[in-house]
Amino acid sequence: MIQLFHVWKHYAKRPALSDITLQVEKGEFVLLMGPSGAGKTTLLKLLFCAERADDGQILIQGKNVARIKPSGVPYLRRTMGFVFQDFRLLQKKTVFDNVALPLLVQGLSSFDIRRKASEALKAVGLEHRKESRPAMLSAGEQQRACIARAIVNSPLILLADEPTGNMDPDLAADIMDLFKTINARGTTLVIATHNRQVVEQVNRRVVTLAEGRLASDVGARQ
Ligand SMILES: Nc1ncnc2c1ncn2[C@@H]1O[C@H](COP(=O)(O)OP(=O)(O)OP(=O)(O)O)[C@@H](O)[C@H]1O
Ligand SMILES: [Mg+2]
């Protein structure tokens, strides 16, 4: 599903990622760990084609992303969902409209938009808040709305960057349960997190980066 071969990424001549080789199979749930500055966000950005690798190869669903033209990137992204910290909800739109936006952009019929957006809101337990503005929601509800927006397309791959950042432990556990449910439906997940409690709870493969290198890759406890 996701394959990296000797991938390098530099910022101002300093390597943010050094020689990363990694494979993620369809349906896997991978936690990406490592200290601040280790390269987690950079790796997710490469997978989402928000940045390009300087060297090496990245295949997503068998496609070499370096060969995808800028005009083709939106098509690849339709098969992916992402929950990034700097990608917030639009404050002037309702929760429903925020979640429906990716579908609107694709030109789906209003019937399909309504059906899919409602399904995604139901999956995250936010149907009752669909007419609210984001500012009226708690931090956890806003995060769930972001997740609903990320899964509204039924993505094959879901990427999330610190989705439980600034959350209390109970809320973080709820969000991770939600990711587990999404994974159980067949979506491949790659989630960057600092949260050790989350890692214990989820008990899935943990890939650790340190100073841009792959430091360890450990499967789930049996
Ligand atoms: N746009 C950028 N321009 C310059 N340097 C960058 C840029 N983005 C990241 N870096 C550098 O690349 C390295 C890896 O950063 P990255 O954001 O991937 O780390 P991270 O593991 O996500 O850290 P954190 O846990 O703090 O989010 C860091 O040294 C950072 O300073
Ligand atoms: Mg980061």
Pocket of ligand 1 (CB under 6 A): 11-12, 16, 34, 36-42
Which residues belong to CATH 3.40.50.300 in the chain? 2-79+156-217
Tokens of 70: 């800028």
Greatest alpha-carbon pair distance for the chain in Å reads 50
Residue 63: pLDDT over 80: yes
β strands within the chain, DSSP E: 2-11, 14-24, 29-33, 55-60, 63-64, 80-83, 157-161, 188-192, 205-210, 213-218
Q: Give the ligand 1 atom nearest the CA of 9.
A: 12
Distance between alpha carbon 36 and the CA centroid of its chain, in Å?
18
pLDDT mean across residues, the chain = 93
Calpha distance 99→170 (Å, rounded): 24
**108 Cα: distance to centroid of ligand 2 (angstroms):** 33
Phi, psi of 40 (to 5 degrees): -65, -50
Q: How many CB atoms lie within 10 A of CB 169?
A: 12
Ligand 1 atom nearest to CA at 192: 22
**Does residue 180 have a pLDDT over 90?**
yes
- Among 1-10, 78-87, 98-107, 200-209, the range scoring the smallest mean pLDDT is 78-87
d(CA 204, CA 189): 11
Ion ligand 2 contact residues with beta carbon within 5 A: 40-41
Average pLDDT over residues 79-107: 91
Q: Please work out, in degrees rounded to the nearest 5, the angle formed at the alpha carbon of residue 135 by the alpha carbons of 134 and 138.
A: 85
Position 222 pLDDT exceeds 80:
no
* Class (C level, CATH) for 2-79+156-217: alpha beta
Q: Is 205 in contact with 31 (CB distance < 8 Å)?
A: yes
Tell me the mean pLDDT in the region 21-42: 96
Asked whether residue 85 carries a pLDDT value surpassing 80, the answer given is no
Nearest-CA residue for atom 26 of ligand 1 = 36
Nearest CA to ligand 1 atom 31: 37
- CB atoms under 10 Å from CB of 49, counted, come to 19
| Residue 105 pLDDT exceeds 90 | no
Cα 85 to Cα 161: distance, rounded to the nearest angstrom: 6
Answer for the pair 175, 163: CB distance below 8 angstroms, yes or no. yes
Name the residue with the closest Cα to ligand 1, atom 3: 11
43 alpha carbon – ligand 1 mean position (Å): 10
**Whether pLDDT at 175 is above 90:** no
Which pLDDT tens digit goes with each residue over 115-132?
Answer: 999 999 998 999 999 999
pLDDT at 194: 86
